[in-house]
């Protein structure tokens, strides 16, 4: 029996922790909504409770869909993933009132490794929009096995913390990765030694992350 590398197990645990962290709020709202609904007799208040339940259920489903593709296996490892599914998953985790998605993807599908890189790049860039803004997502095929991926966050205030920058470029040891930096480190690991990652300087008004896979 092949012995599992503890670092791999620890990293998988960190990704699970990140997923659970993002699900706590909508699942907690579901629980609160059920409790309120069971005690409420006023018709208008019950309607508000039902709306809360519907919104929380939708948020939970959207996050699960996104993280299944961004972190999980999601089917056969050698299969291609339809970019329409990826667009839907990315749009689902951001509030349309806060983040506008500008979809500039010129491929109809991509392999799973590229999909995970792209989705985690989108996650980091979207979260860098502290007060909302525009998230520009672009991808194109440049060779038989190579893709150029680019995300750009434009808003009144953007911030990509230094620890995420370090994780993206591999300037961090595996033992120092935590649940917050795990998505960035996943991008670095998936790109491997032949991939290229670039991050805009911290003093720029926009956050840009670009990658070229090999």
Q: What is the pTM of this model?
A: 0.90
Q: Compute the distance between CA of residue 141 and CA of residue 103 in angstroms, rounded to an integer.
A: 15
Domain regions of the chain by residue span:
6-212
Q: pLDDT tens digits for 125-160?
A: 999 999 999 999 999 999 888 999 999 999 999 999
Q: pLDDT tens digits for 11-30?
A: 889 999 999 999 998 888 88
CA 130 to each of CA 137, 157, 198: distance values in angstroms, whole numbers, following the listed order: 18, 6, 21
Residues 6 or more apart in contact with residue 8 via CB below 8 angstroms: none
Task: For 6-212, give the CATH class.
Answer: alpha beta
Q: Could you tell me the pLDDT band of residue 5, with boundaries at 50, 70 and 90?
A: low
**Is residue 192 within 8 Å of residue 214, measured between CB atoms?**
yes
Q: Compute the distance between CA of residue 17 and CA of residue 202 in angstroms, rounded to an integer.
A: 27
């Amino acid at each position: 029996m092949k012995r599992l590398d503890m670092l791999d197990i620890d990293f998988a645990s960190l990704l699970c922790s990140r997923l659970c962290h993002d699900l706590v709020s909508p699942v907690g709202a579901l629980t609160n909504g059920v409790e309120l609904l069971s005690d409420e007799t006023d018709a208008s208040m019950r309607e508000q409770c039902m709306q809360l339940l519907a919104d929380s259920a939708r948020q939970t489903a959207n996050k699960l869909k996104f993280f299944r593709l961004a972190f999980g296996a999601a089917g056969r490892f050698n299969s291609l993933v339809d970019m329409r599914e990826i667009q839907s998953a990315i749009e689902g985790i951001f509030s349309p009132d806060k983040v506008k998605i500008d979809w500039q993807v010129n491929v109809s599908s991509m392999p799973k490794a590229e999909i995970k890189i792209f989705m985690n790049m989108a996650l980091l860039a979207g979260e860098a929009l502290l007060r909302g803004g525009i998230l520009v997502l672009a991808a194109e095929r440049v060779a038989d096995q190579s893709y150029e991926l680019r995300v750009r966050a434009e808003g009144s205030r953007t911030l990509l913390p230094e620890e995420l920058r370090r994780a993206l470029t591999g300037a961090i040891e595996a033992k120092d990765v935590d649940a917050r930096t795990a998505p960035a480190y996943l991008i670095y690991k998936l790109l491997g030694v032949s991939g290229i990652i670039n991050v805009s300087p911290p003093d720029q008004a926009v956050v840009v992350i670009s990658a070229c896979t090999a």
